[in-house]
Amino acid sequence: MARTQALDYGEKRNAILQRSAELFAEGGFERTSMASVAAQCGVSKPLLYHYYTNKEELLFDIINGHLEELCEAIAEADDPSAEPQVRLRALVGALLDCYRDANAQHKVQINALSALPTDKQDLLKAQERKLVAIFAAAVRAINPAIDEKNSILKPATMSLFGMLNWHYMWFRPEGSISREDYADLATELFVNGLRGLR
């Protein structure tokens, strides 16, 4: 007879994902054992294995859930009919807003995705490419001289991601600049530089 799912299954699973993301971000994926995940989550190892049969499955769900949220937020924020800089600023703001409470998940995505089997990596990289494609379209709209045939488009777009993806290393909510102010600053810096490219 199949085991029935507890009423709080989803809530417990989400708590395991959140704490595991923090542990992988702090100690590294390879150095964090399932035993330590169970202990830090306050559950037994058998119960943890009821939710996740191995560490790779847990890692995949952390990154996949994070990327799904990013893709949904970016698709919702994108307005191709908007003035190009306004469009890009909306995308930048949406991305940074998604990062607000997801520093651990974001760090795990950057540092541990390569630990997954190739087929799982491919699924996650496809989601990353969706995000890059939306941003690349917004970048191209700001400077039409940069198009898909131009080798500058991808490096320019990835440079913007570089500005945004690593802000968690230095950004502090109580610091001298707010997340919204940084979205303005990053957009302004990027757009001014981009418009000078030929």
Beta carbons of 54 and 45 less than 8 angstroms apart: no
For residue 122, what are the CA distances in angstroms to 53, 117, 128, 185?
A: 21, 9, 10, 33
User: Looking at 100-188, which runs of residues are DSSP E strands?
Assistant: none
Whole-number Å distance between alpha carbons of 171 and 7: 38
C-alpha closest to that of 164 among 92, 100, 104, 110 = 92
pLDDT digits (tens, 9 = 90+) for 116-166: 999 999 999 999 999 999 999 999 999 988 876 668 899 999 999 999 998
Beta carbons of 115 and 59 less than 8 angstroms apart: yes
Q: Which two tokens stand for residue 57?
A: 């499955």
Q: What is the mean pLDDT of the chain?
A: 91
| Residue 40 burial class via C-beta count within 10 angstroms: exposed 0-12, middle 13-18, buried 19 and up | middle
Q: Which two tokens stand for residue 43?
A: 């559950």
Going from the N-terminus, what domains does the chain have, and what CATH number goes with each? 56-195 (1.10.357.10)
C-alpha closest to that of 66 among 107, 16, 27 = 107
pLDDT for 151: 81
pLDDT digits (tens, 9 = 90+) for 174-188: 889 999 999 999 999
pLDDT digits (tens, 9 = 90+) for 20-60: 999 999 999 999 999 999 999 999 999 999 999 999 999 99
